[in-house]
Amino acid sequence: MQEAWLQVQCPACSDSWEERVNDLPAPDTQFTCDDCGTERALSEFMQTARDLEVLREFNE
Ligand SMILES: [Zn+2]
């Protein structure tokens, strides 16, 4: 599988950064923002529909 970088954005504080898809858990996993400590499903941190799609495909 080709290595992909995803745009991640916190829904609470709007901090954004990039993560390798290989380093991320499944979309339904609880994920914590390093900046503000908000805990949500990882799918809510995906900045665009495309990023979520790539994450879902990778975790199939
Ligand atoms: Zn945050």
Cα(37) to ligand 1 centroid in Å equals 6
28 alpha carbon, distance to own chain's centre: 10
How many domains does the chain divide into?
A: 1
Domain that residue 25 falls in: 5-58
Residues 3-32: tens digit of each pLDDT:
899 999 999 999 999 999 999 999 999 999
Position 22 scores a pLDDT of 95
Share of the chain above pLDDT 70, in %: 97
Cα(6) to ligand 1 centroid in Å equals 16
Residues 6+ apart with CB under 8 A from 45: 8, 9, 10, 11, 31, 33
Cα(32) to ligand 1 centroid in Å equals 8
Mean pLDDT of the residues in the chain? 95
Supply φ then ψ for residue 18, to 5 degrees: -115, 145
pTM summary value: 0.90
Strand partners for 7 = 18
Q: Which tokens in the block code for residue 3?
A: 């290595």
Cα(11) to ligand 1 centroid in Å equals 7
